[in-house]
Amino acid sequence: MATRHFLTLMDLSAEELKQIIERAIELKTLRNQGITTDLFRGKVLGMIFEKSSTRTRVSFEAGMAQMGGSALFLSPRDTQLGRGEPIEDSARVISRMVDIVMIRTFGHQNVERFAAHSRVPVINALSDSYHPCQLLADIQTFVEHRGSPAGKVVAWVGDGNNMCHSYINAARLCDFELRISCPQGYAPDADIVAAAGDRVKVVHNPMEAVRDADWVSTDVWASMGQETEQQARSEAFDRYQVNHELMSHANEDAIFMHCLPAHRGEEVSAELLEDERISKVWDEAENRLHAQKALMEFLQEHSQ
């Protein structure tokens, strides 16, 4: 059996994605009931961080512990990757010592190169092109609160970044309509948009994107590594804040999500972020834990 990797959502079929979401909800229920499992007993997750993160490290490390396994945190200071060793060589060595690898990095090609030479499943925990683990959590959150996203309208307001690209892939797999609203010059990758066909529409007016939407999401205007662009981006995105006024154009029961960390007063108003009737960001953040446990279980089962 070939080793399965999770580099983008498109590494799953629509049915496999549905199964992972259902299992994530089941694992969350078991956790809330105090029921533990040792499905990862004796298993080790290698966590390679070239980009720092709070949610990614805590969710993966806690997830392995809750399933009876263990995790190793590896920063560039801790590995030869930070000293110039070829990614291919690191993949060959690390994958002989651990059972699964998670990478949070810059260039998406780094994840692809590592996976191509790994004996064990590799998970993209974030690259400059995609953030598929976050979408697992987002989809789980919508299913928990509103049911299947199939046939729904989802609005993305903000930068055409890695999160936006993963929302495009989610539209393909979950069969929802995605409207992307971004300023001129900040659109998502044209090839990724084209691959989604008529499921995706790019507009520039946020109200047009949000009108009658069931689910609205955004992200920071300047992602990690773009700090020098902060001023220019703040000016370009000035009218792209998601707030109660903008959400008033969505469906009455629409929900809001944000992958966090959030910059209150910039891409989202503080009032909306804290409005638990609309904002589901805290459930969304927690669901990283359960969705990733379900994903790791799936990859292990399908790579043996």
| Catalytic (active site) residue 219 | yes
| pLDDT band for position 66 (cuts 50, 70, 90) | very high
CA distances from 228 to 172, 199, 231, 238, 297 (A): 33, 34, 8, 17, 39
pLDDT tens sequence across 18-61:
999 999 999 999 999 999 889 999 999 999 999 889 999 999 99
pLDDT tens sequence across 120-162:
999 999 999 999 999 999 999 999 999 999 999 999 999 999 9
* From 23, 55, 104, 165, active-site residue: 104
Residues in contact with 162: Cβ distance below 8 Å, sequence separation at least 6, in sequence order? 126, 127, 128, 129, 130, 131, 223
CA–CA separation, 84 and 67 (whole Å): 34
| Catalytic (active site) residue 131 | yes
Amino acid, res. 115: A
| Catalytic (active site) residue 191 | no
pLDDT at residue 252 is higher than 90: yes
* From 99, 159, 219, 283, active-site residue: 219
Backbone angles phi, psi at 82, to 5 degrees: -75, -5
| Catalytic (active site) residue 134 | yes
| Chain centroid offset of residue 53 CA | 13
| Of the candidate ranges 98-102, 113-117, 228-232, the one whose mean pLDDT is the lowest | 228-232
Output the pLDDT for position 259: 97
Mean pLDDT of 177-182: 98
pLDDT tens sequence across 211-228:
999 999 999 997 766 677
Mean pLDDT, the chain, whole residue set: 95
Among 153, 159, 127, 137, residue whose Cα is nearest residue 263 = 159
* From 5, 128, 134, 214, active-site residue: 134
| Catalytic (active site) residue 33 | no
Please report how many Cα atoms fall inside a 13 Å half-sphere around the Cα of residue 282, on the Cβ side: 7
| pLDDT band for position 1 (cuts 50, 70, 90) | confident
| Catalytic (active site) residue 113 | no
pLDDT at residue 301 is higher than 90: yes
* From 131, 172, 199, 258, active-site residue: 131
| pLDDT band for position 80 (cuts 50, 70, 90) | low
